[in-house]
Structure 1
Amino acid sequence: MIIPEGKKVYFSSDNHLGAPTKEASKPREAIFVKWLDEIKEDAAAIFLLGDLFDFWFEYKHAVPKGFVRVLGKLAELKDSGIPIYFFIGNHDLWMENYFEEELNIPTYRKAQEFEFNGKNFLIGHGDGLGPGDYGYKRMKKVFTNPFAKWLYRWLHPDIGIPLAQYFSVKNKLISGDEDAEFLGEDNEWLIQYCRRKLETKHYDYFLFGHRHLPMEIKLKEDSKYINTGDWITHYTYAEFDGNDLQLKKLKDK
Protein backbone atom coordinates (compact mmCIF):
# COMPACT_ATOMS: atom_id res chain seq x y z
CA MET A 1 0.00 0.00 0.00
CA ILE A 2 1.28 3.45 -0.93
CA ILE A 3 0.36 6.10 1.64
CA PRO A 4 -0.35 9.41 -0.13
CA GLU A 5 1.24 12.55 1.28
CA GLY A 6 -0.92 14.00 4.02
CA LYS A 7 -2.54 10.64 4.78
CA LYS A 8 -1.85 8.32 7.74
CA VAL A 9 -2.38 4.75 8.86
CA TYR A 10 -3.84 4.38 12.37
CA PHE A 11 -3.53 1.44 14.77
CA SER A 12 -5.40 0.88 18.04
CA SER A 13 -6.32 -2.01 20.33
CA ASP A 14 -7.83 -3.16 23.60
CA ASN A 15 -10.96 -1.09 24.09
CA HIS A 16 -12.71 -3.92 25.98
CA LEU A 17 -16.10 -2.33 25.41
CA GLY A 18 -18.65 -3.75 27.81
CA ALA A 19 -16.24 -3.96 30.76
CA PRO A 20 -16.65 -3.73 33.64
CA THR A 21 -20.30 -3.03 32.68
CA LYS A 22 -21.89 -1.71 29.51
CA GLU A 23 -22.97 1.43 31.34
CA ALA A 24 -19.47 2.09 32.65
CA SER A 25 -17.88 1.52 29.24
CA LYS A 26 -20.20 3.87 27.33
CA PRO A 27 -18.07 6.98 28.03
CA ARG A 28 -15.02 5.12 26.69
CA GLU A 29 -17.00 4.06 23.64
CA ALA A 30 -17.99 7.69 23.03
CA ILE A 31 -14.34 8.80 23.26
CA PHE A 32 -13.28 6.14 20.76
CA VAL A 33 -16.10 6.99 18.35
CA LYS A 34 -15.11 10.67 18.53
CA TRP A 35 -11.50 9.73 17.73
CA LEU A 36 -12.63 7.64 14.75
CA ASP A 37 -14.65 10.61 13.51
CA GLU A 38 -11.62 12.90 13.86
CA ILE A 39 -9.17 10.70 11.98
CA LYS A 40 -11.47 10.00 9.04
CA GLU A 41 -10.21 13.12 7.27
CA ASP A 42 -6.64 11.85 6.85
CA ALA A 43 -6.92 8.08 7.41
CA ALA A 44 -5.47 5.99 4.60
CA ALA A 45 -6.32 2.85 6.61
CA ILE A 46 -7.34 1.85 10.14
CA PHE A 47 -6.11 -1.26 11.94
CA LEU A 48 -7.95 -2.54 15.01
CA LEU A 49 -5.61 -4.94 16.79
CA GLY A 50 -8.09 -6.93 18.84
CA ASP A 51 -10.17 -6.92 22.02
CA LEU A 52 -12.44 -4.17 20.76
CA PHE A 53 -15.04 -5.92 22.91
CA ASP A 54 -14.50 -7.46 26.31
CA PHE A 55 -16.59 -10.39 25.12
CA TRP A 56 -17.98 -11.36 21.75
CA PHE A 57 -19.70 -14.56 20.72
CA GLU A 58 -21.62 -15.13 17.53
CA TYR A 59 -24.59 -17.42 17.64
CA LYS A 60 -26.07 -18.43 14.31
CA HIS A 61 -28.77 -15.76 14.54
CA ALA A 62 -27.56 -13.50 17.38
CA VAL A 63 -24.61 -11.38 18.50
CA PRO A 64 -24.11 -9.54 21.82
CA LYS A 65 -26.46 -6.62 22.32
CA GLY A 66 -25.07 -3.08 22.29
CA PHE A 67 -22.06 -1.25 20.78
CA VAL A 68 -24.29 0.37 18.16
CA ARG A 69 -22.35 3.63 18.03
CA VAL A 70 -18.92 2.13 17.43
CA LEU A 71 -20.28 -0.40 14.92
CA GLY A 72 -22.17 2.36 13.12
CA LYS A 73 -19.08 4.56 12.95
CA LEU A 74 -16.95 1.72 11.60
CA ALA A 75 -19.61 1.01 8.97
CA GLU A 76 -19.66 4.70 8.01
CA LEU A 77 -15.88 4.89 7.62
CA LYS A 78 -15.70 1.66 5.65
CA ASP A 79 -18.53 2.75 3.37
CA SER A 80 -16.70 6.04 2.75
CA GLY A 81 -13.81 4.07 1.27
CA ILE A 82 -11.38 3.86 4.20
CA PRO A 83 -9.87 0.35 4.47
CA ILE A 84 -10.35 -1.14 7.95
CA TYR A 85 -8.70 -4.33 9.20
CA PHE A 86 -9.64 -6.22 12.36
CA PHE A 87 -7.43 -8.65 14.27
CA ILE A 88 -9.26 -10.99 16.59
CA GLY A 89 -8.03 -10.82 20.17
CA ASN A 90 -8.29 -13.20 23.09
CA HIS A 91 -11.53 -11.59 24.31
CA ASP A 92 -13.30 -11.52 20.97
CA LEU A 93 -11.78 -14.77 19.72
CA TRP A 94 -15.25 -16.23 19.15
CA MET A 95 -15.87 -13.76 16.36
CA GLU A 96 -16.85 -15.49 13.12
CA ASN A 97 -18.05 -13.62 10.04
CA TYR A 98 -20.19 -10.79 11.43
CA PHE A 99 -17.64 -8.04 10.70
CA GLU A 100 -16.99 -9.37 7.23
CA GLU A 101 -20.64 -9.81 6.27
CA GLU A 102 -22.19 -6.76 7.96
CA LEU A 103 -19.33 -4.22 7.84
CA ASN A 104 -17.21 -5.56 4.97
CA ILE A 105 -14.20 -5.48 7.33
CA PRO A 106 -11.72 -8.35 6.90
CA THR A 107 -10.74 -10.19 10.09
CA TYR A 108 -7.53 -12.03 10.92
CA ARG A 109 -6.71 -14.62 13.57
CA LYS A 110 -2.93 -14.56 13.11
CA ALA A 111 -0.30 -11.88 12.68
CA GLN A 112 -0.10 -10.60 9.11
CA GLU A 113 2.56 -8.90 7.03
CA PHE A 114 1.84 -5.56 5.37
CA GLU A 115 4.01 -3.16 3.41
CA PHE A 116 3.50 0.60 3.49
CA ASN A 117 5.73 2.88 1.44
CA GLY A 118 8.43 0.23 1.32
CA LYS A 119 8.35 -0.43 5.09
CA ASN A 120 7.66 -3.97 6.28
CA PHE A 121 5.16 -4.38 9.11
CA LEU A 122 4.16 -7.45 11.12
CA ILE A 123 0.80 -6.76 12.74
CA GLY A 124 -1.40 -8.74 15.14
CA HIS A 125 -3.08 -8.83 18.53
CA GLY A 126 -0.19 -10.54 20.28
CA ASP A 127 -1.80 -13.13 22.53
CA GLY A 128 -0.01 -16.46 22.75
CA LEU A 129 3.07 -15.30 20.85
CA GLY A 130 6.59 -15.88 22.08
CA PRO A 131 7.83 -18.29 24.73
CA GLY A 132 5.91 -19.13 27.89
CA ASP A 133 2.23 -18.52 28.70
CA TYR A 134 1.56 -22.21 28.14
CA GLY A 135 -1.60 -22.22 30.24
CA TYR A 136 -3.21 -19.62 28.01
CA LYS A 137 -2.03 -21.40 24.86
CA ARG A 138 -3.70 -24.61 26.02
CA MET A 139 -6.87 -22.74 26.95
CA LYS A 140 -6.99 -21.00 23.55
CA LYS A 141 -6.85 -24.36 21.77
CA VAL A 142 -9.89 -25.48 23.77
CA PHE A 143 -11.82 -22.23 23.23
CA THR A 144 -11.18 -22.20 19.47
CA ASN A 145 -12.02 -25.86 19.03
CA PRO A 146 -15.06 -26.13 16.70
CA PHE A 147 -16.68 -28.74 18.95
CA ALA A 148 -16.31 -26.51 22.03
CA LYS A 149 -17.91 -23.60 20.18
CA TRP A 150 -20.71 -25.88 18.99
CA LEU A 151 -21.38 -26.97 22.58
CA TYR A 152 -21.42 -23.39 23.85
CA ARG A 153 -24.01 -22.40 21.25
CA TRP A 154 -26.44 -24.76 22.97
CA LEU A 155 -26.58 -22.28 25.83
CA HIS A 156 -29.32 -19.75 25.23
CA PRO A 157 -27.83 -16.26 24.54
CA ASP A 158 -29.55 -14.93 27.68
CA ILE A 159 -27.41 -17.40 29.63
CA GLY A 160 -24.27 -17.80 27.52
CA ILE A 161 -23.50 -14.11 26.97
CA PRO A 162 -23.89 -12.86 30.59
CA LEU A 163 -22.03 -15.92 31.89
CA ALA A 164 -19.02 -15.26 29.66
CA GLN A 165 -19.13 -11.53 30.42
CA TYR A 166 -19.04 -12.28 34.14
CA PHE A 167 -15.91 -14.40 33.88
CA SER A 168 -14.30 -11.91 31.49
CA VAL A 169 -14.53 -8.92 33.84
CA LYS A 170 -13.28 -10.95 36.81
CA ASN A 171 -9.81 -10.22 35.43
CA LYS A 172 -8.92 -6.91 37.13
CA LEU A 173 -6.47 -5.93 34.41
CA ILE A 174 -9.15 -6.24 31.73
CA SER A 175 -11.71 -4.28 33.73
CA GLY A 176 -9.22 -1.45 34.11
CA ASP A 177 -8.67 -1.74 37.86
CA GLU A 178 -4.93 -2.30 37.55
CA ASP A 179 -2.19 -1.13 35.20
CA ALA A 180 0.06 -3.57 33.42
CA GLU A 181 3.67 -3.46 34.50
CA PHE A 182 6.66 -3.57 32.19
CA LEU A 183 8.53 -6.81 32.90
CA GLY A 184 11.83 -5.86 31.30
CA GLU A 185 12.90 -6.62 27.76
CA ASP A 186 14.16 -10.10 28.66
CA ASN A 187 10.80 -11.06 30.20
CA GLU A 188 8.40 -9.50 27.72
CA TRP A 189 7.25 -12.40 25.52
CA LEU A 190 6.32 -10.20 22.59
CA ILE A 191 9.75 -8.56 22.54
CA GLN A 192 11.34 -12.01 22.53
CA TYR A 193 8.98 -13.06 19.73
CA CYS A 194 9.95 -10.05 17.62
CA ARG A 195 13.66 -10.66 18.10
CA ARG A 196 13.31 -14.27 17.05
CA LYS A 197 11.39 -13.24 13.92
CA LEU A 198 14.21 -10.86 13.02
CA GLU A 199 16.60 -13.81 12.92
CA THR A 200 14.96 -15.03 9.72
CA LYS A 201 13.42 -11.91 8.15
CA HIS A 202 13.67 -8.15 8.47
CA TYR A 203 10.71 -6.08 9.63
CA ASP A 204 10.85 -2.34 10.07
CA TYR A 205 7.98 -2.40 12.54
CA PHE A 206 6.20 -4.90 14.78
CA LEU A 207 2.77 -3.74 15.96
CA PHE A 208 0.81 -5.56 18.67
CA GLY A 209 -1.73 -4.92 21.41
CA HIS A 210 -2.79 -7.30 24.20
CA ARG A 211 -0.38 -6.01 26.88
CA HIS A 212 -2.44 -2.91 27.80
CA LEU A 213 0.88 -1.11 28.05
CA PRO A 214 2.09 1.43 25.47
CA MET A 215 5.65 0.55 24.48
CA GLU A 216 8.24 1.65 21.94
CA ILE A 217 11.22 -0.70 21.91
CA LYS A 218 14.14 -0.44 19.51
CA LEU A 219 15.03 -4.00 18.49
CA LYS A 220 17.75 -3.04 16.03
CA GLU A 221 18.91 0.20 14.49
CA ASP A 222 16.31 -0.19 11.75
CA SER A 223 13.60 -2.20 13.55
CA LYS A 224 11.12 -1.22 16.25
CA TYR A 225 8.39 -2.90 18.31
CA ILE A 226 5.37 -0.83 19.29
CA ASN A 227 2.57 -1.89 21.58
CA THR A 228 -0.52 0.25 21.14
CA GLY A 229 -1.54 0.21 24.83
CA ASP A 230 -5.27 0.44 25.52
CA TRP A 231 -8.39 2.61 25.68
CA ILE A 232 -9.05 1.89 29.35
CA THR A 233 -6.17 3.57 31.13
CA HIS A 234 -3.76 4.98 28.55
CA TYR A 235 -5.88 6.00 25.52
CA THR A 236 -2.95 5.44 23.18
CA TYR A 237 -2.64 4.50 19.53
CA ALA A 238 0.00 4.34 16.79
CA GLU A 239 0.23 6.51 13.72
CA PHE A 240 2.23 5.95 10.51
CA ASP A 241 2.61 9.05 8.34
CA GLY A 242 4.24 7.27 5.42
CA ASN A 243 7.75 7.69 6.78
CA ASP A 244 7.74 7.06 10.51
CA LEU A 245 5.63 5.13 13.01
CA GLN A 246 4.95 6.82 16.35
CA LEU A 247 3.01 6.08 19.49
CA LYS A 248 0.43 8.76 20.29
CA LYS A 249 -1.84 9.61 23.22
CA LEU A 250 -5.15 11.46 23.15
CA LYS A 251 -4.43 15.09 23.97
CA ASP A 252 -7.10 15.35 26.66
CA LYS A 253 -6.10 12.11 28.41
Structure 2
Amino acid sequence: MPIFFASDFHLGADARCSSRERERQVVRWLDHCVREGADAIYLVGDLFEFWFEWEEVVPRGFVRFLGKLAEITDAGTPIHVFTGNHDLWMRDYLPRETGVTLHQQPVVHQLQGKKLLIGHGDGLGPGDYGYKRMKKVMTAPWAQWLYARLHPNLAMRLALFFSNKSRESQPSETEFYGPDREWLVAYCERRIAQDPTLDYCIFGHRHLPIDYRLSNGRSRYLNLGEWLNYSTYLRLEDGVATLLRWDDSISVPLYEGSAPGLVINRES
Protein backbone atom coordinates (compact mmCIF):
# COMPACT_ATOMS: atom_id res chain seq x y z
CA MET A 1 0.00 0.00 0.00
CA PRO A 2 1.55 3.34 -1.02
CA ILE A 3 2.46 6.16 1.33
CA PHE A 4 2.19 9.74 0.11
CA PHE A 5 4.19 12.85 1.07
CA ALA A 6 3.60 16.52 0.19
CA SER A 7 4.42 19.92 1.65
CA ASP A 8 4.20 23.66 1.19
CA PHE A 9 0.60 24.12 0.08
CA HIS A 10 0.71 27.69 1.47
CA LEU A 11 -3.07 27.92 1.61
CA GLY A 12 -3.97 31.56 2.07
CA ALA A 13 -1.49 32.87 -0.52
CA ASP A 14 -2.36 33.38 -4.18
CA ALA A 15 0.21 32.33 -6.78
CA ARG A 16 -0.14 30.50 -10.11
CA CYS A 17 -3.78 30.08 -9.15
CA SER A 18 -5.84 31.43 -6.28
CA SER A 19 -5.58 29.94 -2.81
CA ARG A 20 -9.18 28.71 -3.09
CA GLU A 21 -8.49 26.86 -6.34
CA ARG A 22 -5.25 25.39 -4.95
CA GLU A 23 -7.20 24.17 -1.92
CA ARG A 24 -9.57 22.35 -4.28
CA GLN A 25 -6.58 20.80 -6.08
CA VAL A 26 -5.12 19.60 -2.79
CA VAL A 27 -8.46 18.07 -1.82
CA ARG A 28 -8.66 16.27 -5.18
CA TRP A 29 -5.10 14.99 -4.64
CA LEU A 30 -6.04 13.71 -1.17
CA ASP A 31 -9.02 11.89 -2.72
CA HIS A 32 -6.57 10.38 -5.22
CA CYS A 33 -4.35 9.16 -2.37
CA VAL A 34 -7.32 7.45 -0.75
CA ARG A 35 -8.42 5.84 -4.03
CA GLU A 36 -4.88 4.52 -4.46
CA GLY A 37 -5.19 2.79 -1.09
CA ALA A 38 -2.90 5.08 0.91
CA ASP A 39 -1.44 3.39 3.97
CA ALA A 40 -0.57 6.84 5.38
CA ILE A 41 -0.24 10.45 4.27
CA TYR A 42 2.53 12.80 5.42
CA LEU A 43 1.98 16.57 5.07
CA VAL A 44 5.39 18.03 5.75
CA GLY A 45 4.88 21.66 6.79
CA ASP A 46 3.78 25.07 5.53
CA LEU A 47 0.30 23.82 4.79
CA PHE A 48 -0.89 27.36 5.45
CA GLU A 49 0.61 30.74 4.63
CA PHE A 50 0.04 31.55 8.29
CA TRP A 51 -1.61 29.77 11.16
CA PHE A 52 -2.27 30.77 14.76
CA GLU A 53 -4.62 29.32 17.35
CA TRP A 54 -6.15 31.69 19.84
CA GLU A 55 -8.05 30.15 22.74
CA GLU A 56 -11.40 30.41 20.96
CA VAL A 57 -10.46 31.43 17.40
CA VAL A 58 -8.74 29.79 14.45
CA PRO A 59 -7.97 31.35 11.04
CA ARG A 60 -10.87 31.77 8.66
CA GLY A 61 -11.19 29.51 5.62
CA PHE A 62 -9.69 26.18 4.52
CA VAL A 63 -12.88 24.29 5.45
CA ARG A 64 -12.62 21.96 2.42
CA PHE A 65 -9.07 21.00 3.34
CA LEU A 66 -9.72 20.59 7.06
CA GLY A 67 -12.91 18.64 6.41
CA LYS A 68 -11.06 16.29 4.05
CA LEU A 69 -8.38 15.63 6.69
CA ALA A 70 -11.09 14.69 9.19
CA GLU A 71 -12.90 12.52 6.64
CA ILE A 72 -9.71 10.57 5.84
CA THR A 73 -8.64 10.02 9.45
CA ASP A 74 -12.20 9.09 10.43
CA ALA A 75 -12.03 6.35 7.78
CA GLY A 76 -8.88 4.96 9.41
CA THR A 77 -6.02 6.34 7.28
CA PRO A 78 -3.39 8.09 9.45
CA ILE A 79 -2.25 11.57 8.46
CA HIS A 80 0.98 13.02 9.86
CA VAL A 81 1.24 16.82 9.85
CA PHE A 82 4.50 18.68 10.44
CA THR A 83 4.80 22.31 11.43
CA GLY A 84 6.72 24.56 9.07
CA ASN A 85 8.11 28.05 9.37
CA HIS A 86 4.80 29.55 8.19
CA ASP A 87 2.59 27.50 10.51
CA LEU A 88 4.89 26.74 13.43
CA TRP A 89 2.23 27.98 15.86
CA MET A 90 0.03 24.94 15.35
CA ARG A 91 -0.98 23.45 18.68
CA ASP A 92 -3.85 21.08 19.42
CA TYR A 93 -6.60 22.24 17.07
CA LEU A 94 -5.78 20.04 14.08
CA PRO A 95 -5.13 16.88 16.14
CA ARG A 96 -8.31 17.42 18.17
CA GLU A 97 -10.64 18.42 15.34
CA THR A 98 -9.26 16.51 12.35
CA GLY A 99 -7.52 13.52 13.97
CA VAL A 100 -4.07 14.11 12.49
CA THR A 101 -0.81 13.36 14.31
CA LEU A 102 1.20 16.55 14.77
CA HIS A 103 5.02 16.68 14.67
CA GLN A 104 7.01 19.78 15.59
CA GLN A 105 10.46 18.28 14.98
CA PRO A 106 11.93 15.93 12.34
CA VAL A 107 11.20 12.26 12.97
CA VAL A 108 12.71 8.94 11.88
CA HIS A 109 10.15 6.35 10.76
CA GLN A 110 10.57 2.82 9.47
CA LEU A 111 8.27 2.41 6.47
CA GLN A 112 8.13 -0.41 3.92
CA GLY A 113 11.49 -1.74 5.05
CA LYS A 114 13.17 1.65 4.61
CA LYS A 115 14.42 4.12 7.20
CA LEU A 116 13.16 7.65 6.59
CA LEU A 117 14.15 10.97 8.13
CA ILE A 118 11.17 13.31 7.68
CA GLY A 119 10.81 16.99 8.55
CA HIS A 120 9.94 20.39 7.15
CA GLY A 121 13.53 21.56 6.92
CA ASP A 122 13.49 25.13 8.24
CA GLY A 123 16.46 26.09 10.40
CA LEU A 124 18.41 22.90 9.66
CA GLY A 125 21.98 22.72 8.43
CA PRO A 126 24.57 25.54 8.36
CA GLY A 127 23.74 29.18 7.72
CA ASP A 128 20.39 31.01 7.97
CA TYR A 129 21.38 32.27 11.39
CA GLY A 130 18.94 35.17 11.33
CA TYR A 131 16.00 32.82 10.92
CA LYS A 132 17.35 30.45 13.57
CA ARG A 133 17.48 33.29 16.09
CA MET A 134 14.01 34.43 15.10
CA LYS A 135 12.62 30.89 15.41
CA LYS A 136 13.91 30.62 18.98
CA VAL A 137 11.98 33.75 19.84
CA MET A 138 8.81 32.77 17.95
CA THR A 139 8.63 29.32 19.54
CA ALA A 140 9.06 30.72 23.05
CA PRO A 141 5.84 30.45 25.11
CA TRP A 142 6.07 34.11 26.14
CA ALA A 143 6.17 35.24 22.48
CA GLN A 144 3.09 33.20 21.64
CA TRP A 145 1.31 34.56 24.70
CA LEU A 146 2.07 38.15 23.65
CA TYR A 147 0.95 37.55 20.05
CA ALA A 148 -2.30 36.05 21.29
CA ARG A 149 -3.09 39.38 22.94
CA LEU A 150 -3.48 40.96 19.47
CA HIS A 151 -6.92 41.08 17.91
CA PRO A 152 -7.09 38.26 15.30
CA ASN A 153 -7.89 40.69 12.45
CA LEU A 154 -4.74 42.73 13.13
CA ALA A 155 -2.61 39.67 13.90
CA MET A 156 -3.51 37.94 10.63
CA ARG A 157 -2.91 41.08 8.52
CA LEU A 158 0.49 41.64 10.11
CA ALA A 159 1.53 38.01 9.67
CA LEU A 160 0.47 37.84 6.01
CA PHE A 161 2.20 41.14 5.26
CA PHE A 162 5.53 39.97 6.66
CA SER A 163 5.10 36.55 5.09
CA ASN A 164 4.80 38.13 1.63
CA LYS A 165 7.83 40.34 2.31
CA SER A 166 9.82 37.30 3.36
CA ARG A 167 8.90 35.44 0.18
CA GLU A 168 9.94 38.38 -2.00
CA SER A 169 13.36 38.47 -0.33
CA GLN A 170 14.08 34.77 -0.86
CA PRO A 171 16.57 33.65 -3.54
CA SER A 172 15.47 31.86 -6.69
CA GLU A 173 13.56 28.63 -6.10
CA THR A 174 14.19 27.30 -9.61
CA GLU A 175 17.91 26.55 -9.31
CA PHE A 176 19.90 23.92 -7.43
CA TYR A 177 22.97 25.62 -5.96
CA GLY A 178 25.17 22.55 -5.50
CA PRO A 179 25.84 20.46 -2.39
CA ASP A 180 28.13 23.09 -0.85
CA ARG A 181 25.43 25.77 -0.88
CA GLU A 182 22.31 23.69 -0.24
CA TRP A 183 21.86 23.72 3.54
CA LEU A 184 19.55 20.72 3.62
CA VAL A 185 22.05 18.65 1.63
CA ALA A 186 24.68 19.52 4.24
CA TYR A 187 22.26 18.60 7.03
CA CYS A 188 21.46 15.25 5.38
CA GLU A 189 25.16 14.49 4.92
CA ARG A 190 25.69 15.07 8.63
CA ARG A 191 22.76 12.83 9.54
CA ILE A 192 23.88 9.93 7.33
CA ALA A 193 27.36 10.22 8.85
CA GLN A 194 25.71 9.69 12.23
CA ASP A 195 23.33 7.00 10.95
CA PRO A 196 24.41 5.32 7.68
CA THR A 197 21.25 3.17 7.69
CA LEU A 198 19.06 6.11 6.63
CA ASP A 199 17.59 5.42 3.20
CA TYR A 200 15.64 8.61 2.51
CA CYS A 201 15.83 12.14 3.92
CA ILE A 202 12.50 13.76 3.04
CA PHE A 203 11.97 17.50 3.49
CA GLY A 204 9.98 20.45 2.21
CA HIS A 205 10.76 24.15 2.77
CA ARG A 206 13.19 24.48 -0.17
CA HIS A 207 10.32 24.89 -2.69
CA LEU A 208 12.24 22.97 -5.34
CA PRO A 209 11.54 19.30 -6.12
CA ILE A 210 14.91 17.58 -5.72
CA ASP A 211 16.08 13.97 -5.85
CA TYR A 212 19.74 13.93 -4.81
CA ARG A 213 21.92 10.90 -4.07
CA LEU A 214 24.11 11.60 -1.06
CA SER A 215 27.83 10.94 -0.72
CA ASN A 216 27.50 7.43 0.73
CA GLY A 217 26.10 6.30 -2.63
CA ARG A 218 22.86 4.85 -1.28
CA SER A 219 20.94 7.45 0.75
CA ARG A 220 18.82 10.05 -1.03
CA TYR A 221 17.75 13.55 -0.13
CA LEU A 222 14.27 14.16 -1.52
CA ASN A 223 12.68 17.58 -1.46
CA LEU A 224 8.96 17.62 -2.00
CA GLY A 225 8.82 20.97 -3.80
CA GLU A 226 5.67 23.06 -3.34
CA TRP A 227 2.16 23.68 -4.66
CA LEU A 228 2.42 27.39 -5.46
CA ASN A 229 3.95 26.53 -8.85
CA TYR A 230 5.03 22.87 -9.04
CA SER A 231 2.26 20.83 -7.34
CA THR A 232 4.73 18.01 -6.62
CA TYR A 233 4.59 15.14 -4.18
CA LEU A 234 6.28 11.85 -3.39
CA ARG A 235 4.92 8.31 -3.55
CA LEU A 236 6.60 5.52 -1.59
CA GLU A 237 5.61 2.03 -2.76
CA ASP A 238 7.44 -1.22 -2.12
CA GLY A 239 10.23 0.87 -0.62
CA VAL A 240 10.75 2.85 -3.86
CA ALA A 241 10.38 6.64 -3.62
CA THR A 242 9.20 8.52 -6.72
CA LEU A 243 8.67 12.25 -7.15
CA LEU A 244 5.52 13.08 -9.11
CA ARG A 245 3.63 16.15 -10.26
CA TRP A 246 -0.12 16.43 -9.72
CA ASP A 247 -1.80 17.72 -12.85
CA ASP A 248 -5.22 18.24 -11.25
CA SER A 249 -6.48 14.76 -12.11
CA ILE A 250 -3.41 12.69 -13.03
CA SER A 251 0.11 12.09 -11.71
CA VAL A 252 3.01 12.98 -14.02
CA PRO A 253 6.56 11.66 -13.39
CA LEU A 254 9.33 14.22 -13.01
CA TYR A 255 12.38 13.71 -15.18
CA GLU A 256 15.64 15.61 -15.34
CA GLY A 257 15.20 18.74 -17.36
CA SER A 258 11.40 18.63 -17.20
CA ALA A 259 9.44 21.76 -16.42
CA PRO A 260 8.10 22.40 -13.94
CA GLY A 261 10.27 20.49 -11.53
CA LEU A 262 13.81 19.26 -11.20
CA VAL A 263 15.28 15.84 -10.52
CA ILE A 264 19.06 15.68 -10.15
CA ASN A 265 21.77 13.14 -9.42
CA ARG A 266 19.32 10.29 -9.01
CA GLU A 267 21.49 7.53 -10.46
CA SER A 268 25.03 8.89 -10.11
TM-score range normalised by the length of the shorter chain? over 0.9
Question: C-alpha separation between the residues in 1 aligned to 2:222 and 2:53?
Answer: 31
Structure 1 stretch 177-186 or stretch 151-160: which is displaced more? 177-186
Counterpart check, 1:198 vs 2:192: yes
Q: Following TM superposition, by how much is the alpha carbon of 1:244 offset from its aligned partner in structure 2, in angstroms? A: 0.4
Q: Distance in 2 between matches of 1:140 and 1:48?
A: 21
Distance 1:232 1:178, change over 3 A: farther
Amino acid in the other structure paired with 1:233: N
More off after superposition, 240-249 vs 208-217: 240-249
Residue type of the alignment partner of 1:52? L
Say which of 22, 25, 44 aligns to 1:31: 25
Q: Report runs of 4+ in structure 1 exceeding 4 Å deviation.
A: none
Determine which of 77, 96, 99 is the counterpart of 1:82.
77
Aligned-residue RMSD, C-alpha: 1.9
Aligned to 1:149, the other structure's residue is in SS state helix
Aligned to 2:264: none
Residue-pair matches, total:
245
Amino acid at match of 1:112: V
SS of match in other structure, 1:70: helix
Moved more, 158-167 or 54-63: 158-167
The answer to whether the aligner puts 1:11 opposite 2:10 as a matched pair is: no
TM-score, structure 2 length as denominator?
A: 0.87
2:240 counterpart residue number: 244
User: Which of 157, 164, 170 is the equivalent residue of 1:169?
Assistant: 164
State the 1:181 CA deviation.
2.6
SS at match of 1:246: strand
- Match of 1:159? 154
> What is the rounded CA distance, in whole Å, between the counterparts of 1:151 and 1:20 in structure 2?
29
Over 3 Å counting, the alpha-carbon distance change for 1:45 and 1:15 in structure 2 is same
| Residue identity matched to 1:126 | G
Q: Secondary structure at the match of 1:10?
A: strand
Q: Is this contact kept in 2: 1:214–1:236, CA < 8 A?
A: yes
Residue 184 of structure 1 corresponds to which residue in structure 2?
A: 178
Tell me if 1:126 matches 2:121.
yes
How much does 1:173 deviate? Answer: 5.3
Q: 1:161 to 1:91 in 2, by over 3 A?
A: same
Structure 2 residue matching 1:199: 3-state secondary structure: helix
Paired position in structure 2 for 1:3: none
Distance 1:174 1:86, change over 3 A: farther
C-alpha spacing 1:112/1:174, structure 2 compared with 1 (3 Å): farther
Q: Write the distance in 2 (CA, Å) between the matches of 1:18 and 1:9.
A: 26
Kept after mapping to 2: 8 A contact 1:87/1:109: yes
- Do the aligned partners of 2:84 and 2:205 also contact (CA within 8 Å) in 1? yes
Deviation at 1:67, TM superposition (A): 0.3
What does residue 4 of structure 1 align with? Answer: none
Secondary structure, aligned partner of 1:245 = strand
Unaligned stretches of 5+ in structure 2? 249-259, 261-268
Task: Return the alpha-carbon distance in structure 2 between the equivalents of residues 251 and 26 of structure 1.
Answer: 16
Secondary structure, counterpart of 2:120 in structure 1: coil
Residues 228-239 of structure 1: matches in 2 within 5 Å? 228-239=224-235
Correspondent of 1:221 among 217, 221, 228:
217
Q: Secondary structure at the match of 1:140?
A: helix
Q: Deviations over 1:210-246 (max 9, x none)?
A: 0000000001332111000000111100010022011
Match of 1:171, SS state, is helix
Which ranges in structure 1 are unaligned for 5 or more consecutive residues?
1-6
Which residue number in structure 1 is paired with residue 266 of structure 2? none
Distance in 1 (CA, whole Å) between partners of 2:65 and 2:220 is 30
Letter of the structure 1 residue corresponding to residue 204 of structure 2: G
> What are the Cα deviations for residues 171-209 of structure 1, in whole angstroms up to 9, with x where unaligned?
34599x964432111110100001111111120000000
Q: 2:26 corresponds to which letter in structure 1?
A: F
